Structure 1
Amino acid sequence: MRNLSLIIQREYLARVRNKTFIIMTFLSPLIFVGMIMLIAYLSMLNSTEQKIIGIHDETGLFSSEFKDGEQVQYLDYSEESLEQARKEVLDSEYFGLIHIGKMEAGDARPSEIEFFGKETPGFGTVENIEKTISDRLTREQLIRKGIDVSEIDKARTKVDISIQNFSGERSSKMANYIKMFFGGAAGYLLMMFIIIYGNMVMRSVIEEKTNRIIEIIVSSVKPFQLLLGKVTGTSLAGVTQFTIWIILGAVLLFGISSFLGIDPATVQTPASEMVKTAPQPEINQLVVEILKLPYASLLSFFIIYFVGGYFLYSSIYAAIGAAVDSETDTQQFMFPIILPLVLGIYVGFFSVVENPHGTVSTIFSIFPLTSPIVMLMRIPFGVPWYEILASVVVLLGTIFGVLWISAKIYRVGILMYGKKPTYKEIFKWLKY
């Protein structure tokens, strides 16, 4: 145990005293916060920029349907010819011109609907134009069929389903969105941490092997202890760096936004638009659902799977580092590591979100190579304790198994030089 603690201490101090580590620890939050501030600033500029769009409506039905908003203003050029309207819009450097062709009696739609502009309009602009024209055409069709449109509008009824399980615990659609966000963020964060610090472990092993320092170290320490100490020490350095990132990033984000008067919440995203347009009761429900989340259990399971997933993959990274002579030679072994991580993310976003208790979600949340990511995404939706227990037991068993296999590869690989190992040769090392 004394040797193990010395190795952990050595690896930890070697990482945190490294100049690159120190620079990136303090520079990364500055870069990240700077990007957020830049995006927020550009978004504020974009939100204050008003688009002017001309309308050339040959039917006389649609020009009055387009209403001015905070970011768009419509000008009617229907009285002029199309060529004249195009020329005036172009000379005035307006955003674009909507042209709606003639519509004969009995036609379901105008002969042509076009948008002229210097630039391709954004998705939201096109969708708004299409919806405005489509809604008016629908109303015209109903009127032609003798249907009272006002009665249809009065008859429209919105239904909100109250969701609860058989034990009486209530939930809502908003709660599912919140759980999806927290679960997805936790899973993606874990994947990025594994890739970044797993590579750090691998590079550390390659560096020691290249410098022949490892030959001196293994003369007094068992390979298993050296592997475990290296993974643990690097993980502690990673946790230290990650903690500093969170604290420093939060302080910088608050301080810079207050000093410059830029609100990061003004960033224009589909989610922010949904929140702005949502009724007040739904916003209140959103706050209630966020406060109802079991943060203590979420944090506890995040730490468990965070540490478990990191140890599992870092052991594999260390074994790869011991088996090769340079970082270039690692490429042939990286795909089998990245594949289950990417698979876990895809299963999480495409299966867990749709059916968190389905067969696919359950299997991949127990399978050890994907369970740290998939189970983290499932836990906010509520997972039976026996499934979590089975997942943790299988993960721990796999960690010890992978550590044992990696140690055998590590023991032979760290003393092998000048040859690229194949999968067949690495398999033979397990028998030594």
Structure 2
Amino acid sequence: MSKIWLIAQREYLTRVRKKSFIIMSLIGPLLTVALFAVPVLIAKMSDSGKVVAVADAGGLFAGKLPEAKDDISFTRVSSDLVTAKAEFNKAKYDALLYIPKLDISNPNGFQVFSRKGLGMALERDINRAVNNAVENQRLQKAGIDRTVLDNLKADVDLQTVSLSDEGERSSSTGISTGVAYAAGFLIYIFIFIYGVQIMRGVMEEKTNRIVEVVISSVKPFQLMMGKVLGIAGVGFTQLALWVVLSMGISSVMAGSMSPEKIAEDRMARTTAVARVDTPQDKSAKKENMMAQFTQALDNADLNVPLLVGCFLFYFLGGYLFYGALFGAIGSAVDSETDTQQFMMPVTMPLVLTFVVSQAILTTNPNGQVAFWMSIFPLTSPIAMMMRLPFGGVPMWQLGLSMALLIAGFVGAIWLAGRIYRVGILMYGKKVTYGELSKWLFYKG
């Protein structure tokens, strides 16, 4: 154990002292925030409030034009198409909607003019406004009051409750799905990023002949275990820094980048009314948002201690398991171009789990597919974390999954060590799967 600790310490200190680690630890949160903030900023800058001119020759909007909503508003122009086109070009409207004289039972002949093509969102909004107007006239012709029809529609607040041996427990499918995706995605990304680091580190030592000196003092199993644990420590350190810095940056930008703020800006541009919220209004909105979020979490009734503990276990266990396999690949080849034939079988279960989770695990978290994927060590790190937020996972399934993952990690380390002891001293030879199977049974 002392040798494993020394190797892990050396791997950890060597990497955390690099300038690239420090730079990425500081830039990583900015990139993470930018991933979400940049699209919002671009939409905010490009969203100038669309104005649609309406040439209503058919009298579809005889009463009044559609109300301004979000980033679109309507204005009336001449019902004559030629005159309306001239007004459209002169006023620089974003689109011109021409409504011909129509039969309300079979409406057709509508035209929308634009200078550079309509965007999908603008076309959808115009189409919705026309459809609503046609429906209103049909209802009026049939003697049906639109208000009465709208009142007949129901929007029931459905409260979900999970029944189990432990009793009743309220739940929230939306919150559970969000937590499941976040946990699965973090494990997925972490395994890929730092698993590849192990593979490249082993390849670098092999090509530089450093390992020939090291292997004379330690066993291949100890060297592989120390390398995997050391890089795991690097990953946890960087992840902790990213989480802390991301939370700080996100809290600073939350006020200016919130959806409520963007919606307010859109409405202000659309209605051309300058309205400034008082500090009391802003404080009330923040308190309302926090209250809604807290209420959603309370309704979800998540077992937070269990989720956090299991996340840390599968986060580390999944990395250690796959890290050993990536290390074995690195010891078997001489260059990254040769890794492709071995990377596919190792990464396919991981990719398949993440893809299947979106279609099956979150829709049926307690089905047979979810059960077997959460038990099998190659898929359990992501699959089990996708199941746990929904509840209903028996403790025996959770215990069996953890035990098999630990056994799989020990087996993967042993397997990687058997390949490692031969592969690190093998140069210039094209390795095949048949050759790897022979390495497993070499004596010595």
Equivalent residue for 2:395? 385
Residue of structure 1 aligned with 2:220, choices 200, 220, 223: 223
Q: Report matched runs for 1:241-280 at 5 Å.
A: 241-255=238-252, 257=253, 262-264=256-258
Deviation at 1:426, TM superposition (A): 1.3
Distance 1:365 1:33, change over 3 A: same
Equivalent residue for 1:18? 18
Distance 1:388 1:122, change over 3 A: farther
Is residue 237 from structure 1 mapped to residue 242 from structure 2 by the alignment? Answer: no
Equivalent residue for 1:51? 50
Q: Which amino acid aligns with 1:412?
A: V
Q: Report matched runs for 1:271-350 at 5 Å.
A: 286-291=293-298, 292-350=301-359
Residue of structure 2 aligned with 1:164, choices 145, 161, 165: 161
8 A Cα contact 1:37 1:264, kept in partner: no
Equivalent residue for 2:269? none
Give distance in 1, aligned partners of 2:29 and 2:302. Answer: 28
Equivalent residue for 1:202? 199
- 3-state SS in 1 of match to 2:295: helix
Q: Which amino acid aligns with 1:427?
A: S
Distance 1:39 1:145, change over 3 A: closer
Deviation at 1:147, TM superposition (A): 4.2
> What is the TM-score normalised by the length of structure 2?
0.85
Equivalent residue for 1:129? 126
1:258-296, CA deviations, whole angstroms, 9 ceiling, x for partnerless residues? 9xx733556869xxxxxxxxxx99995642232443222
- 3-state SS in 1 of match to 2:216: coil
Deviation at 1:165, TM superposition (A): 3.3
1:277-322, CA deviations, whole angstroms, 9 ceiling, x for partnerless residues? xxx9999564223244322211101001001110111111100000
| Pairs aligned (count) | 414
Deviation at 1:41, TM superposition (A): 3.9
Deviation at 1:239, TM superposition (A): 0.7
Distance 1:151 1:26, change over 3 A: closer
Residue of structure 2 aligned with 1:413, choices 411, 419, 423: 423
8 A Cα contact 1:224 1:404, kept in partner: yes
Equivalent residue for 1:274? none
Equivalent residue for 2:101? 102
Q: Which amino acid aligns with 2:56?
A: D
Q: Unpaired segments of 5 or more residues in structure 2?
A: 264-286
Q: Which amino acid aligns with 1:17?
A: R
1:77-104, CA deviations, whole angstroms, 9 ceiling, x for partnerless residues? 2x33223323422333221122333312
Equivalent residue for 1:138? 135
> What is the TM-score normalised by the length of structure 1?
0.87
Give distance in 2, aligned partners of 1:24 and 1:161. Answer: 45
Residue of structure 1 aligned with 2:369, choices 356, 360, 376: 360
Q: Which amino acid aligns with 2:92?
A: E
Q: Which amino acid aligns with 2:25?
A: T
8 A Cα contact 2:198 2:231, kept in partner: yes
Q: Which amino acid aligns with 1:290?
A: L
Greater Cα offset, 415-424 or 280-289: 280-289
Q: What RMSD over aligned residues (CA atoms) do the two structures have, in Å?
A: 2.8
Q: Unpaired segments of 5 or more residues in structure 1?
A: 270-279
Deviation at 1:139, TM superposition (A): 3.5
Distance 1:14 1:134, change over 3 A: same
Q: Which amino acid aligns with 1:431?
A: F
8 A Cα contact 1:43 1:266, kept in partner: no
Deviation at 1:17, TM superposition (A): 1.7
- 3-state SS in 1 of match to 2:256: coil
Q: Which amino acid aligns with 1:374?
A: A
Q: Which amino acid aligns with 2:256?
A: I
1:147-196, CA deviations, whole angstroms, 9 ceiling, x for partnerless residues? 45444333333333332234663535xx1111111110110111111110
